[in-house]
Amino acid sequence: MELANRVLSLTPSTTLAITAKAKELKEQGEDVIGLGAGEPDFNTPQHILDAAVTSMNEGFTKYTPSAGLPALKQAIIKKFETDQGLTYKPAEIIVGNGAKHVLYTLFQVLLNDGDEVIIPTPYWVSYPEQVKLAGGVPVYIEGKEENQFKITPKQLAQAVTNKTKAVIINSPSNPTGVLYTEEELRELGKVCLEKDILIVSDEIYEKLVYGGAKHVSIAQLSPELKAQTIIINGVSKSHSMTGWRIGYAAGEEKIIKAMTNLASHSTSNPTTTAQYAAIAAYNGTQEPVEVMRKAFEERLEIIYKQLTAIPGFTCVKPQGAFYLYPNVKAAAEMTGYQNVDDFASALLVEAKVAVIPGSGFGTPDNIRLSYATSLDLLEKAVARMKEFVEAKQ
């Protein structure tokens, strides 16, 4: 049977592919340390689990409104008010099956064939594929490593054409962990307003920021920018709830309504139990979020030093998320590998450390390491990589 054209060039998520390979090696008895994970290594906090169980026992196991339970929308609205001083109406919020699927739905309702979406590199692997699946065209602009992987207003302005519909801003970023400052967002925002392009602000790592840095949403900088922005967020990373699949979008009512119509024919609603869990995540204590944040920060400080002591590794210091994104081109060259993809494969097979090659994120000289694993294992993994490079140098 012939497949549809739209999936012919679709590649599986690099992150999930490497994670699966590492798992396979582990199952064969290999002592592999996986640094590929895109999820916190903490359990979902107990009060959230309890709320989910209670909701099931009370019989809340049926369909909900397509855009999510009113109580969950209220919890999200309260979160926006508390954290960002942003005010949204329920009709400006849609809850979906994870931020990933919310983004998918957004591009489906936003893009006509040939519409362009500006995506800074390095990017989260799913953005280009989702844009293409909606008939759109990804237009890449390079977040230069010497500029901490951040794009400039000038680059953004130059990339805009009469086909540009939107730009994606992901701060803190996956894979780099880089965080845009308020001033930088203000300048990028000016270009978006001038050129009248929608800002898709993916803030899924909002809660994970370090070194006293503060997350700022571009939508909170002015009413005009709020009107021009769709915020994407969710509980996956903040509350260690990746498997529950709850994410949401906030923005212009017309867009949210179209997304809700589409969801009503595709998902019906996000899983009911998971929505009750998410209500507890937002309305309950936020202490576990801070416990996780602190643990990540502590690991970052230790591991960053060790990682940058490996010959041929240089790394922009992240201010958020839970990834390190070193440039290892020099290390690959000095150990005799043609490119970083081959170097990363050798790290998995020989050093028994699973990392994600940067080619999947649009920057082939880097690798992504997740520090969402115990400090013990992280130190062991970095020591293995150092030994591997030093032995082959």
The smaller minimum CB distance to ligand PLP, of residues 13 and 306, is found at 13
Q: Considering the rule CB under 6 A, would residue 129 count as an interface residue with ligand PLP?
A: no
Q: How far is the CB of 194 from ligand PLP (least distance, A)?
A: 26
Q: How far is the CB of 91 from ligand PLP (least distance, A)?
A: 22
Q: How far is the CB of 162 from ligand PLP (least distance, A)?
A: 28
Structure tokens that stand for 140 in this block = 């890449």
The DSSP secondary-structure symbol of 240 reads T
| Whether the bond into 175 is cis, omega within 30 of 0 | yes
Out of 174, 201, 229, 327, which residue is the one contacting ligand PLP (CB under 6 A)? 174
Q: 28-87: which residues touch ligand PLP (CB under 6 A)?
A: 38
Q: How far is the CB of 236 from ligand PLP (least distance, A)?
A: 3
For residues 235 to 254, the per-residue mask of contacts with ligand PLP, x marking binding by CB under 6 A and - elsewhere, is: -x-----x----x-------
Choices 158-166, 206-214, 234-242, 384-392; region in contact with ligand PLP by CB under 6 A: 234-242
Out of 80, 88, 104, 124, which residue is the one contacting ligand PLP (CB under 6 A)? 124
Q: Please say whether the beta carbons of 105 and 126 come within 8 A.
A: no
Query: Distance between CA 296 and CA 318 in Å, rounded?
Result: 11
Q: How far is the CB of 100 from ligand PLP (least distance, A)?
A: 3
Q: How far is the CB of 335 from ligand PLP (least distance, A)?
A: 29
- The angle at the Cα of 385, spanning 382 to 387, to the nearest 5 degrees, equals 110
For the stretch 62-66, contacts whose Cβ atoms lie closer than 8 Å and that sit 24 or more positions apart, written own/partner, are 62/272, 63/268, 63/269, 63/272, 64/269, 64/270, 64/272, 64/275, 65/269, 66/260, 66/263, 66/264, 66/267, 66/268, 66/269
- The angle at the Cα of 309, spanning 303 to 311, to the nearest 5 degrees, equals 130
Q: 87-106: which residues touch ligand PLP (CB under 6 A)?
A: 98-100
Out of 145, 184, 202, 206, which residue is the one contacting ligand PLP (CB under 6 A)? 202
Out of 170, 220, 238, 269, which residue is the one contacting ligand PLP (CB under 6 A)? 170
Q: 131-160: which residues touch ligand PLP (CB under 6 A)?
A: none
Query: Distance between CA 193 and CA 200 in Å, rounded?
Result: 13
β-sheet bridge partners, residue 231: 201, 250
The smaller minimum CB distance to ligand PLP, of residues 19 and 327, is found at 19
Q: Please say whether the beta carbons of 357 and 344 come within 8 A.
A: yes
Residue closest to ligand PLP (Cβ): 98
Q: How far is the CB of 98 from ligand PLP (least distance, A)?
A: 3
The smaller minimum CB distance to ligand PLP, of residues 39 and 333, is found at 39
The smaller minimum CB distance to ligand PLP, of residues 145 and 203, is found at 203
Structure tokens that stand for 9 in this block = 């060039």
β-sheet bridge partners, residue 33: 353
Q: Select from 39, 15, 20, 18 the least CA-distant residue to 321.
A: 39
Sign of the dihedral through C-alpha 99, 200, 150, 182: negative
**How many residues sit in the footprint of ligand PLP (CB under 6 A)?**
13
Q: How far is the CB of 1 from ligand PLP (least distance, A)?
A: 30
Q: How far is the CB of 154 from ligand PLP (least distance, A)?
A: 24
Query: Distance between CA 48 and CA 280 in Å, rounded?
Result: 5
Q: Select from 16, 9, 40 the least CA-distant residue to 289.
A: 40
The smaller minimum CB distance to ligand PLP, of residues 65 and 175, is found at 175
Q: Which residues bind ligand PLP (CB under 6 A)?
A: 38, 98-100, 124, 170, 174, 202, 204, 234, 236, 242, 247
